Amino acid sequence: MSNNDELDRLCINTIRTLSMDAIQQANSGHPGAPMALAPVVYTLWQRFLRYDPGHPEWADRDRFVLSAGHASMLLYSMLHLCGVKAAGPAYEIPGRLSIELDDIKRFRQIDSKCPGHPEYRWTSGVETTTGPLGQGAANSVGMAIAGLWKAGYFNRPGHELFNYDVYALLGDGCMMEGVTSEAASYAGHLGLSNLCWIYDSNKITIEGSTDLAFTEDAEARFQSYGWHVTHVNDANDLDALAKAFSLFKETGDRPTLIVVKSHIAFGSPNKQDTNSAHGEPLGEEEIQLTKKNYGWPEDKKFLIPDGVPDHFNAGIGARGAELHRAWATAFDSYKKEYPELAEAVTTMQDRKLPEGWDSNLPEFPADPKGIATRVSSGKVLNSVADNVPWMMGGSADLAPSTKTTITAEDAGIFSMEYTKGRNFHFGIREHAMGAIINGLSLSKIRSYGSTFLIFSDYERPAIRLSALMEIPAIHIFTHDSIGVGEDGPTHQPVEQIASLRAIPGLITLRPADANEVVEAWKVIMQLRCEPVALILSRQNLPTLDRNKYAPAAGLARGAYVLADAEDGSPDVLLLATGSEVHLCIHAYNQLKAEGVRARVVSMPSWELFEQQNEEYRSSVLPPSVTARVAVEQASTLGWERYTGTDGTIIGMKTFGTSAPLRDIQEKFGFTPDKVAAAAKATIGE
């Protein structure tokens, strides 16, 4: 064995033993995958990854996604040994390591940079939050799309700013999850040649052998998707791994799946790797035996032998720094020749907006007939997209209904033939769509995806993760209520709005008319760390006369007084979102004619309203006025926080029914008469 071979093995065993020791000390975690896959990740990072540890936010870096997030110690060990630096909120480099050895020693403990699964925004070098299997794989598809789009839009002859690849490491669990299949199918359809998935085929899950539940020919499945599939029969064969990665680099017309066969080498020959591959530390005795098997000091914990950091620094460290320096020099030249494009690169990377992004937002005149908020939203989206070139997205086969197509002449449809395309036909793949737009957002693209509100259930895991990661992904949902009508209860959302409101960090917005839609998009575009669920109507809604009613700009505060009692001292509050605001206005006028003083409050976003100070919230919902009626064509769950025990909620306590809209509204009590009657009953008249 040569000195280089010995040093390779030393580095690989350092990754393994750091992982074992951290998991044992925490008495929690999954040692099997880090032990088995250390050679794979070592080879990729040390010899191929286009990555500068000193600048983990470098725009043209290769991305590495650990979709098998239970193997988190594999990534944490690499980040530490490669010397990846921390990046601050403004992408500055404060000079400390992203992961110190003490963080590894405190794996899965409070405030450690090494939590149980990789978390974006918590640890520099982690490209996306993973743990729910398959999500990271689907995110990587969005990252690959973003890389090709940036190359298509920004690169110029003699100026190649973007040319990065995306790698994702998957396990058997990822391969079983449906989101992986959806994303892989779409990636194959697009021919994403900059995408490489590494499949750790070790045939083990928590319950035992994959033969219990997973006997399909996954390789044939990926070939049918249009992927290039290659094999490495032994995860410890560094030359075979290098050959497979080189083959990926040479494949220019499709994504690549590298199937790696791995087996965990424990110290005890009778050790079964089932549980330890997933949720069980090895135990001190087994760790000592395994270290002995590696030729490692059995009594040493968290040992990093001399020469290991230097070897990583001479490999990925030196190569990455040189690549980054060359890129920075090229970018300086690019700025001189293409100053506007260079400014756009910087603005996009900093999650900022170009000057004048809102210069041509539409204004909608008062109109009693009005338009559906899905239609007005489409108009606003296009006005914004005209000024924000990196805004893009699509629909799960429903763009004609959700009105989310960018119509600019050069927008086009994204494909390998036209990588500047900004419209995506995701197909009927809601779950993958949500995860892919998260990947786009993680790549600093202003991304959106759209479908009917009822199908937010199919997208929910990705929505939850966009909130957990604090990324400004835009989730657009139309056909927002039982107003869908004849399509019936399978397509009439009832519990979905309440379900979305339950997600911490997600802002829900359900505007009442076209001008509230304009204000909603103003809020959305200025968010940098919060995802949004924009909920829109299928049916026309009147465009309110803002000379008669309060300005729509009140939407930015989540709730505002739309119409008030003449003396500003109402007897009853009428609270609503979306289309039901108009029911409350009709009821308000009826009550006013009868001498009842009412206030109409439009509440498009509970989350924005709760961010306001107590003085403002009390000015909108005076604590002294306990007679309150909330109206929403959705589940009543949650409205009691605003109506209190003395109020009334007009909402849905069952599923909907198939019938014309007016018949449905009458059946479930969504009429001005019912709202007015409830208001009087609540007052006590």
> Known catalytic residues?
430
514 φ, ψ (degrees, to nearest 5): -60, -40
d(CA 570, CA 80): 62
Tell me the CA distances in angstroms from 634 to 481, 566, 579, 652, 673, one per residue in order: 7, 31, 11, 5, 19
The three-state (H, E, C) secondary structure of 258-278, written as one string: EEEECCCCCCCCCCCCCCCCC
Q: Which DSSP symbol is given to 451?
A: E
Residues facing residue 391 across a β-bridge? 446
Q: Are 486 and 538 in contact (CB under 8 A)?
A: no
Q: Which two tokens stand for residue 203?
A: 């045939």
CA end-to-end span of the chain, whole Å? 93
The three-state (H, E, C) secondary structure of 331-370, written as one string: HHHHHHHCHHHHHHHHHHHCCCCCCCCCCCCCCCCCEEEE
Tell me the CA distances in angstroms from 512 to 95, 376, 530, 532, 574, one per residue in order: 49, 11, 22, 17, 14
Pick from 364, 432, 402: which is nearest to 534 by CA?
A: 402
Q: Are 33 and 171 in contact (CB under 8 A)?
A: yes
Number of helices and strands in the chain (H, E): 25, 20
**Residues near 39 by Cβ (< 8 Å), separated by ≥ 6?**
12, 235, 236, 237, 238, 241
Q: Which two tokens stand for residue 41?
A: 């990740």
Across the chain, which distance is largest between two alpha carbons, in Å?
A: 96
What is the amino acid identity at position 312?
F
Tell me the CA distances in angstroms from 52 to 62, 82, 151, 249, 318, one per residue in order: 9, 9, 20, 19, 8
According to DSSP, the β-strands at 532-535 and 507-509 are parallel
d(CA 384, CA 392): 11
Q: How many CB atoms lie within 10 A of CB 284?
A: 10
Q: How many CB atoms lie within 10 A of CB 391?
A: 23
CA 650 to chain centre: 33
CA 626, 630, 635, 638 torsion-angle sign:
negative
Q: Which two tokens stand for residue 506?
A: 């997600």
550 φ, ψ (degrees, to nearest 5): -65, 155
Q: Which residue has the tokens 């000592």?
A: 288
d(CA 67, CA 171): 8
**Residues near 556 by Cβ (< 8 Å), separated by ≥ 6?**
519, 522, 523, 608
